[in-house]
Amino acid sequence: MDEKPLENNYTDDSIIHLEDMEHLRLRPTMYIGKLGDGSSQDDGVYILIKEVIDNSIDEFTSGFGKQIEVNVSFQDKVVSVRDHGRGIPFGKMVEAVSRLNTGGKYDNKTFQKSIGLNGVGTKAVNALSSYFKVQAFRDGQTKYAEFAEGKLIKESELMPTTEDNGTYVEFIPDVKCFGNYHYINDYIEKKIWNYAYLNKGLTMRYNGQRIYSKNGIIDLLENNMEGEGLYPIIHIHEGDLEVAFTHGDGQYNKEEYYSFVNGQYTPDGGTHQGAFREAIVKTVREFYKKDYDPNDIRQGIISVISIRVQEPEFKNQTKTNFSSTYMEPSRDGLPNESPTVKSYVMDIIKRNLDNYLHINAQTAEALQARIIASEKERKEIAEIKKANKDKTKKVSLNNRKLRDCRVHYNSNHERRLETTIFITEGDSASGSITKSRDVNTQAVFSLRGKPKNCYGKSKAIVYQNMEFNLLHSALDIDDGLENLRYNNVVIATDADHDGMHIRMLLLAFFLQFFPDLIKTGHVYILQTPLFRVRNKQKTLYCYTDEERIEAIDSIKNAEITRFKGLGEISADEFKNFIGKDMRLDPVIFNKDFDSANVLRFYMGKNTPERKKFLMENLRTDEDND
C-alpha cells in the first residue's frame, strides 16, 4: 500500500531569515566544532578563548603590542583578554563583533598572514556568551559595547583615557548553550604556552603568571619530549618555514607532530605536515642511498612544524586541518604562480637536512642505527601478527567483547567528536552500560579479568596478549591516531582496589605503547556515584563523602546505598551517569610529567619502595571519619 504523501505545508512562512547572532546560536557546532562541558580540550568553551586570543596574536604578528593578558575566573567563569595592539576602529567596533563577514582581515594590507580570515571568531564568542564586552583604546580615547546572547544592550560614547592602545574583551560562555561547564587549567595554560612558543618576543600573562619562550619551537619540542632525544635537535628556519625535530629513544615508537599554521595549532595535520613527512623520507633515502621503509624512517620522530602563508585555508572553522595547496592565493583569476606548500616545504627540508647530515656524522650514524632497529622490530612484529592471526579471528571483536556504536566518522568530523568507548571490567558492569548507552555514539569494550602488567615488555605483547590485541584493534590505533574510531576513550572501572589496579594497568598500557592517545587528550576516567541517598520523595547520587553528608542532611529518613561496583547500578540509573551530565576526569600530561619514572615506580619491580610509599600515604575509612 502506498504511503500517504506529506501535507504540503511548504509556504512563504516556511522561509525563515535568521540574523547573524541567531544563526550562530542555532547552529553553534558549525562554528566551534562542538559544545561539551569543558572535560575535553577541544570543547567549545576553550575554542571561544582561543578565538579571542587569536585576534590579539594577529595584532602582535602585524607588529603591534608585545604583551597579552589573559584572565580566567574558574568560579564565576569570566574570561578576559587585553592586548596592546592598534585597537578596533571605533566606528566599526560593534559590527566587528556582531556581524558575520565583517572584519579587518579581509584587507591583507592590514593583516599579513593572520590566523582568522572568515570573519567569524569573536562573533561566535559574542553569540554564545550570556555576557560579552568589547572595549577599544585608540590614541587617548576609548569606547565600549556590551552584549547579551549576541544582542547589543549598551554602547558608550567616546571617552578620554590614559591607557595604552589595544582591545579588551570580556565574556561568560552561556550555560544555555554549554550546560554546566567548567574550565580545566591545564588545557588553557597549554594553549597559552603554544602562543608563546610560536611567537618569539611575545609575553603572555595568564592569571598573573608570566609565560615567555626564549627559544620558540625548540622550547616547545623540549618541553613535550620525555628524556633526551636520540640526537641533538635539528632546527631549520628558512623563509616562512620553521621546524625542529629529533627521534625518541627505542621506548617510544610513534610519530609525534606539533604542527602550526600562522601560529594556529593544527592537531589533525594537513598539507604542511604531509609535506614534511614526505621530505624526511625522501632526504634520508637519498642520503643513505637505501630504499628504507617510510615507517622505519619516521618511527619515533617528534617534531614541531610551523609555516606562515597568505590567506590559509582549513577543512573546518575550528582550523584543525590545514588544506591550502599554494603558499599564496591566486589573484584576478590568473594562474597561481606561488610555490605549492608541498614543494616549498620539501625543498627547504631536503637542502637543509642533507647538509646537516653531511656535516654531523654522529647524528647521521645514530639516525641510521635507529632506522635499522625499527626495521628489525617491524619485521618481528609482522611475524607475531601472522602467527596470531588465526587465533585472533577465533576470539574476534564480535564475540560480545565489543558492543560497537553505529556512527564513527562523517565528512565534516562532527559525529567523530561525539563517539565514546567505555572500557569496563566484567560482564555485569558492561551489561549495565550497554543497556543504558546511546547506541549511536557510545560503544562498550568488556575486559576479561585484569590486564597484564606490560611495564618493561616489548611491543610484541600488544599482539601476543589477546586482551591488548583486541583492545588496540577496537580503537584502530596500530598506525597512529589518524584512524582512531572513538574520540573519547573512557576507563570505566569500579571505585575499589581492584578497579583502581585495572585502571593503572590500562594507563600503563597506553603510556608505554600509545602515549599520544593520552597526550592529545583522548583518555578519560568515568566518575560514577559512590552513594545513593533517597526517600520516597527524592533521590540524590553522591560522588564523595562530603556530598553524602550534605545529602543526608537535606533528606529526612533517608535510605543510603553504597555502590560497591558498577554492576550494582541498574541500567535505568546508569542513563543519568553517561548522558549529557556525564562526569569525566581527563588524563592529562602536563609539561613536568615524567611517564618513564611514573611507570617504573608504580608498575616496576621496586616492591619495597612502593610498599613504603603506600604505607606512609595510605588513608583509611577511619581517617575520613
Together in a domain, 423 and 445: yes
**Which of the four pLDDT bands, split at 50, 70 and 90, describes residue 132?**
very high
pLDDT at 417: 73
pLDDT at 521: 86
pLDDT at 17: 39
111 in any annotated domain = yes
What pLDDT, in 10s, does the model give residues 64-106? 999 999 999 999 999 999 999 999 999 889 988 988 755 444 3
pLDDT at 614: 55
Give the range among 222-226, 251-255, 433-437, 443-447 with minimum mean pLDDT: 251-255
Together in a domain, 190 and 305: no
pLDDT at 305 over 90: yes
pTM of the model: 0.77
Q: At which of 179, 211, 243 does a domain end?
A: 211
The SS3 call for residue 584 is strand
389 in any annotated domain = no
Radius of gyration over alpha carbons of the chain, in Å?
Answer: 27
538/595 Cα distance (integer angstroms) = 45
Total structural domains within the chain: 4
Q: At which of 211, 239, 261 does a domain end?
A: 211
**Which of the four pLDDT bands, split at 50, 70 and 90, describes residue 118?**
very low
Together in a domain, 170 and 117: yes
145 in any annotated domain = yes
Q: Are 115 and 319 in contact (CB under 8 A)?
A: yes
Together in a domain, 193 and 227: no
366 in any annotated domain = yes
pLDDT at 481: 78
Together in a domain, 539 and 573: no
The SS3 call for residue 177 is helix
**Which of the four pLDDT bands, split at 50, 70 and 90, describes residue 453?**
confident
What pLDDT, in 10s, does the model give residues 399-421? 558 888 887 654 445 567 789 99
Close Cβ partners of 617 (under 8 Å, ≥ 6 residues apart): none
What pLDDT, in 10s, does the model give residues 184-196? 999 999 999 999 9
391/274 Cα distance (integer angstroms) = 36
Close Cβ partners of 236 (under 8 Å, ≥ 6 residues apart): 242, 243, 244, 348, 349, 352, 353, 356
380 in any annotated domain = no
Residue 455 belongs to domain with CATH number = 3.40.50.670
546 lies in which domain range?
529-562
Which of 8-17, 254-263, 446-455 has the highest average model confidence (pLDDT)?
254-263
387 in any annotated domain = no
Rounded mean pLDDT, 53-59: 91
DSSP 46-98: HHHHHHHHHHHHHHHHTT--SEEEEEE-TTT--EEEEE-SS---GGGHHHHTT
Together in a domain, 448 and 539: no
List alpha helices for 76-168, DSSP H: 93-96, 121-127
Is the Cα torsion angle 188, 191, 197, 200 positive or negative in sign?
negative
pLDDT at 497 over 60: yes
Rounded mean pLDDT, 543-562: 90
Beta bridge partners of 246: 302
- Name the average pLDDT for the chain: 83
**Residue 415 CA from chain centroid, whole number:** 16
pLDDT at 264: 82
pLDDT at 18: 46
Q: At which of 196, 211, 226 does a domain end?
A: 211
**Which of the four pLDDT bands, split at 50, 70 and 90, describes residue 252?**
low
pLDDT at 533: 93
| Block residue for cell numbers 612558543 | 197
Together in a domain, 276 and 410: no
Letter for the amino acid at 532? Answer: R
Together in a domain, 154 and 99: yes
Rounded mean pLDDT, 493-516: 85
pLDDT at 342 over 50: yes
Together in a domain, 234 and 361: yes
pLDDT at 3 over 60: no
229 in any annotated domain = yes
Q: Are 197 and 165 in contact (CB under 8 A)?
A: no
Residue 257 belongs to domain with CATH number = 3.30.230.10
Rounded mean pLDDT, 175-179: 90
pLDDT at 622: 41
Together in a domain, 44 and 104: yes
pLDDT at 624: 42
Residue 144 belongs to domain with CATH number = 3.30.565.10
376 in any annotated domain = no
Together in a domain, 231 and 350: yes
pLDDT at 593 over 70: no
DSSP 215-270: STHHHHHHHH-SS--SSPPEEEEETTEEEEEEE--TT--S-EEEEEETTEE-TT-B
Together in a domain, 155 and 238: no
Q: What percent of the chain is modeled with pLDDT above 70?
A: 83
